[in-house]
Structures are given as C-alpha cells and as structure tokens.
Amino acid sequence: MRREGANRHHCDVDLVAISVSHRTAPLQLRERLALSADGATQIMGALVAAPGIDEAIALCTCHRTELYAATPDPAAARRVLLAALAGLAGATEPELLGHVHVLRGAQVSRHLFAVTAGLESMVLGEAEIQGQVRRALERARAAGTAGPVTGRLFGDALSSGGRVRSRTALGRGGASVSSVAVELARDAAGSLGGRRVLVVGAGQSGALSARALADEGMHVIVASRHRSRAADVAGDLGDAVSLAALPAELERADVVFTATAASGRLIGREAVADAMAARGGRPLVIVDLGMPRDVDPAAGELPGVTLLDLDDVDRRLDVNNGRRRMHSSEAAAIVAHEEARFQTWLASYGTAPVVAQLHEHAEAIVAGVLRENDLRWEDLTDADRERVGVMARTIVRRLLHEPTRRLRSAEGQAGADVALALFGLADASAEDTAAPASELGHLG
C-alpha cells in the first residue's frame, strides 16, 4: 500500500517506531493499549491511510504494544503513530510520552532485532516472541499494510532470532512467563501436588499454563468460551468446562490461572466474593496473566484471596534472568551482525531505482546512436550490426560498472542525488533521455 509520487525514490524511505512495554509503562497503561487481531488490522489500516505513512505493522504481546512504519516523512509519521497510541489508550499525547520509546532509522531495526531474539523480553530469551513477531508480519501482509521495507525488516529480524536460538544457550531451559507464574503460585499456596487448579483461557498462554500446572501434579480444569477448545487444551491433563461454569469452579478451585485476550473483566470482585463465602474459609490464589487483565484488581482486597498479575511475574523474572544474562552478550553479537546486514540492504534498496535509471539512460543513448547511424552502415551484414551493438553496450556496461558499485555502497539520499545530477537525470523526461544521442554525432 505504498504511495509513491512521480519523482519519489526508494531512498526517501525511513523507519519510525513507537514502543510501549513492561520496561516503559505500568500494567494499567499496557492493558489499555492491548490490541486484538482485529484491532491490530484496524489500526494498521488507519496508519497507512494517514499522510506520511507508506507501510505499517503493529506488534502486540502481553508485555508490549509497538507500531512500525516506513515513511518518507519521519516527523509526520511520528505524530501519526503517537496520536494512534494516545487514542487507543484514551490519554493525551503528553501523558503518553513519558511511557513510550520513539525510534527512528537504525534504532528501529536494532530494537526489533533485539525484541525478536528475546533480549527485551520479560523472560530473557523466551521463544514465544518469535511466533508473535511472525504473526504480526503475516497479519500486516494479509491486510496489505506491509511492504518491501517493513516486510524485509520483520523477515530479517525473524531470521536473526532463529540464529540466536540455534547458536546460543540464551533460550535453553524452558523458562517462560507461565513457568514463572507457577513458581509464584507455589510460593503463595504451598505445595501444589494433588490440588485443584482452574485455568481460564484456551490460547497459547492457557495451554502452557495448563501443562506446567499438570507437571506439578495438580488436577487441571480448563474453562473457555468454547468448550471444545477447552477440551483440546485439557486433553489428558484434566477436564474441560465452559465459562458458564466459572462460579461453581471458583468455589472448588485451590488456584486459578487466567490467560485470555478478552477485552473486559471475566471475573469481577463480586464473583470472587460470592465464591469465597461458599468456600468455608479456604484461601484462594489467583494468577492473572491476561492482557488486559481478566480479574478485577479489587478482588485481591478480599480476605483469603491472593491475587498476582504480570507485574508480579516481572519482579520474579528480574531475579531469574540473572542466570541467562551470561549468554546475552553472545546473542547480542549475532543480533548486531544480522542487523548490520539489514542496514546494508536498506542502503542498497535506496539507490536501486537510481541505478536502474542510470542504466536505462545509457541504453537509450546506445540505441539512439545505433539508430541514427543505421543508414550509414548499409554495407554491414546483420551479423556485423549485431556485433557493433553488442560492443557498444559492453563498453557502456564497463564504464558504468564502477559508478554503479560505488552508488550501491553509498548510504542515503546524498549519493543518489549526486548520481542524478552528474548524469543529468535529476529532472530528465523521456524527451531528455533521447536528446543526447544526436549530440554525439554520426559514426562512420
């Protein structure tokens, strides 16, 4: 959906991104910025419809919401991206500025490559982010908002993340948000073996949580809006129920895990209060991994209720990640090398149309000179004429080889502008291209 003007070159394109994550914003703000798949598609469409943005990709996980744009006008794109996030959060732009990272140019690729490698995750080296980045790219392609620049950016970041995980020990050991959440539940409830856990949500986080809790020896009940999906996740781990069974299951469970992408609270304070009244004084541990949160935070104020959320997980991870940081320098070196390759491609991409225009201009001159001298070579055979044409084009290609090589290695608009001016192509029209042929005179 890139909108190019008649005289715009690829080297007009720059990258801009805005990031809100667990490193910059509290959970209360992050949940207001959470995007469903449909929400991401809608916001990407609005971005590319705005002046100054040619391509857009939205990345939203439990811990971050990020908007990426390819643009000929970075200042305008920054304003559009910030306004989009502010509208999503229901906040003013000045209120949001203290909780965002605004990135431009190489900062954008360095950030995305680090994110995709798991170097910016709550769980250092976590593997889930790789799939989330891939789905963001696929969603943007399906919506028609990704383009050659953002597509290459995300594709190269995914390749880089794969190399980090295959060549380093950063992501080994199976640590995840779910496994850390189980640690927190164990600390709060004591031994988990033989106890009953209700897992609300049948997505990836719910499935990972259900498996980790079953490995602790817990009896797992999976609840979902669609009971069939709950049954798929429960499998041989336990039983499945629909959300209609939540009140009864809250009364029976020792531990509750929630991990949905619902837009509103699934479990209110009153529902928890009613369950506690029927439990005969048994305490209840609730771990809310939803984004936005699934459980009303006020439920944590009830006697006998321990309510934990992603901020509590983050605090535990600060301790656990220390064991993985010894591998992060090796991973960072791979990321830096791969990101530099992307920057090299981007510089070359920027000059590609100018290189093509230069060669087309030269070919037009050759064709014009051969055409003007055609009648003067009436004694030449067709084979001779072909040989003369091949020789002329070979001379041109050899003359242009070094300028082409240097132009492709140049960075930014400056090199392209010099080439356009040097060869008289800055304002060339079709008529201008043919004119130099006659100025060279006839051969013979």
Return the active site residues.
62
As a whole number of angstroms, the distance between CA 217 and CA 168 comes to 32
Compute the chain's Rg from CA coordinates.
30
Q: Beta strands 238-242 and 219-224: pairing type?
A: parallel
Contacts of 186-190 spanning 24+ positions with Cβ under 8 A: 186/216, 188/285, 188/306, 188/308, 189/254, 189/255, 189/283, 189/285, 189/306
Residues contacting residue 2 through CB under 8 Å, at least 6 positions apart: 54, 55, 70, 147, 148
Q: CB-based burial of residue 188 (10 Å sphere; 0-12 exposed, 13-18 middle, 19+ buried)?
A: middle
- Measured at the CA of 159, the angle between CA 158 and CA 161, to 5 degrees, comes to 65
Helix (H, G, I), strand (E, B) or coil at 248: helix
Tell whether omega for the bond before 72 is within 30 degrees of 0, i.e. cis: no
- Measured at the CA of 278, the angle between CA 273 and CA 283, to 5 degrees, comes to 70
Cβ–Cβ under 8 Å, residues 25 and 12: no
Cβ–Cβ under 8 Å, residues 351 and 11: yes
Closest C-alpha among 235, 306, 307 to residue 222: 235
Helix (H, G, I), strand (E, B) or coil at 7: coil
Closest C-alpha among 339, 245, 326, 259 to residue 292: 259
H-run or E-run covering 431: helix 430-439
Closest C-alpha among 139, 141, 81, 133 to residue 112: 133
Token pair belonging to 257: 């895990």
> What are the beta bridge partners of residue 223?
200, 241
**In angstroms, what CA-CA distances link 12 with 80, 82, 149, 154, 417?**
18, 21, 12, 20, 11
